[in-house]
Copies of this chain bind each other. A is one copy, B any other.
Amino acid sequence: MIDWDAMTARGGASWVESANDPEGGFPLDNLPYCIFSAENGRARPGVRIGSQIVDLERLSRAGLLEDLHSSINAACASRTLNKLMACGTVAHAGLRNRLKTLFDAGADHATRTAVSELLTPVDEAALFKPVDPPDFTDFYASIDHATNVGRLFRPDSPLLPNYKFVPIGYHGRASSIVVSGTPVRRPRGQTKHPLASNPEFGPTRNLDYELEVGLYVGTGNAQGEPVEIALAGDHIFGVSLVNDWSARDMQAWEYQPLGPFLAKSFATSVSPWVVPMAALHPFRVPARLRTPGDPDPMDNLWSATDQYSGAIDMTLEVFLLTESMRAAGTEPHRLSRGNLRDLYWTPAQMIAHHTSNGCNLLPGDLLATGTVSGSEEGSAGCLLELSHGGGKPVLLPNGEKRIALEDGDEVILRGHCRRDGYPRISLGECRGTVLPSS
């Protein structure tokens, strides 16, 4: 099991000056992984510190990771982070400690010189999809989201009877996951107007975003061997922001009885940075309190450990930049602000539930939380909820209104963790602009 307390140890100052801004988001305590290329070189693993990315492949070749686990050095030559994620918690801790040492303000001159040569400014790097998830699972872990959406579809029974027992999830489409910055084409599909006798086929009229957080699996499990919840944390490598683009009108028509399919599978955006779980430990908080009358989680979904390490205090925001705003030089407008700690189900519960039937997780698998919404006004993670199902359009500062995304709209997800006495930890951004249907 992970020694969580050792994980809380704070990094100090770095000789990379941009890492020392406590509001910068990418201090020695963060060190998120990515796949990047510099000067049109080939894609390779990197780690962000401050405004720089260090080239892991060249770090490995330069012998600076030589004494670490051989799997780490092999993984540094890969074009995705999948192999790195498979190395295991001990090897990951070794790499993280090494990186902290190399970037520490106390590092000797020779180290600084050697490592300095392997840095690329983030602004000059091309960033790629960090992981090729073998499978993608999308949960539905926000009870506020489930209730709000349920109310629109089923006013009489917004929250289904299984919700408080089962961490509801479904299999998503892995092939169409794209990295932040990739434009998203408005999909075509079947929709049916309530008053029409037949459906029609054409571009969706109700395109939405969904603000989610993705958990990347590190070590997997063998088929037939469930992961105990007390050990579930060991199986999560890190997190990213996820935008689960959704065509609501297509979804409403297709989703019975087997769930969402084409309404979601045209594209899912992920942020380029994978923030390791170790960086998030100071922001661990007890799982959301159950309200009186709520059932206790079933035995396989509860452990004393999980009650503490379970939830994460992470601020999540959505911004919108419309074509008119872009033309006018306006800053993106914040649509919502929520917090990951509001989820009904914790990351550890998702892992334990997913594997409870013997299903095998693989390194690099992506488990997204589902839309993260809170109970307060302005904390909902999608336009469907913010606009109360379209009944109350969202008003933008320039007078534009939205109940759904329009062509040219850019959606920007941001996430960060903050706690007194600790530097801010950023997840960066996940951006995507809607292109007209072809």
Contacts and interface: CB of A to CB of B under 8 A. Distances in A.
A134 B300 contact: no
Contact of A267 (B260, B358, B365): B358
Given A165-B199, A257-B255, A299-B201, A134 B174 contact: yes
Interface in A176-214: 176, 178, 185, 187-190, 192, 198-199, 201
Interface stretch (A17-25, A26-34, A246-254): A246-254
5 contacts: A166-B199, A166-B253, A170-B258, A175-B362, A247-B357
Contacts of A169: 258, 261
A106 interface: no
A170 B358 contact: no
A257 B247 CA distance: 16
Given A168-B258, A259-B259, A261-B170, A359 B176 contact: yes
A253 B163 CA distance: 10
A168 to B, nearest CB: 6
Contacts of A365: 175
B201 A162 contact: no
Q: How many copies does the complex hold?
A: 2
A140 interface: yes
A150 B358 CA distance: 28
A188 B299 CA distance: 13
A298 interface: yes
A121 interface: no
A203 B361 CA distance: 20
A360 B224 contact: no
Contact of A257 (B174, B259, B362): B259
A165 B198 contact: yes
Nearest to A247: B357
A359 B256 contact: no
Interface in A211-230: 223-224, 226
A242 to B, nearest CB: 16
Contact of A199 (B259, B298, B438): B298
A260 B166 CA distance: 12
B201 A298 contact: yes
A190 to B, nearest CB: 6
A6 interface: no
B357 A266 contact: yes
A295 B171 contact: no
A259 B261 CA distance: 10
B254 A175 contact: no
Contact of A175 (B134, B178, B261): B134
Given A165-B199, A170-B259, A201-B356, 5 more contacts: A185-B358, A188-B356, A198-B295, A199-B298, A201-B299
Q: Which 5 A-B pairs have the closest CB atoms?
A: A259-B259, A187-B357, A171-B171, A170-B258, A262-B357
Contact of A256 (B162, B224, B262, B263): B162
A353 interface: yes
Nearest to A361: B175
A346 to B, nearest CB: 17
Contact of A176 (B223, B247, B257, B267): B223
B185 A166 contact: no
A189 B356 contact: yes
A160 B253 CA distance: 10
A8 interface: no
A147 interface: no
A135 B173 contact: yes
Contacts of A298: 190, 199, 201
A161 to B, nearest CB: 8
A265 interface: yes
Nearest to A165: B199
A286 to B, nearest CB: 23
A172 interface: yes
A170 B171 contact: yes
A175 B135 contact: yes
Given A162-B253, A300-B201, A262 B171 contact: no
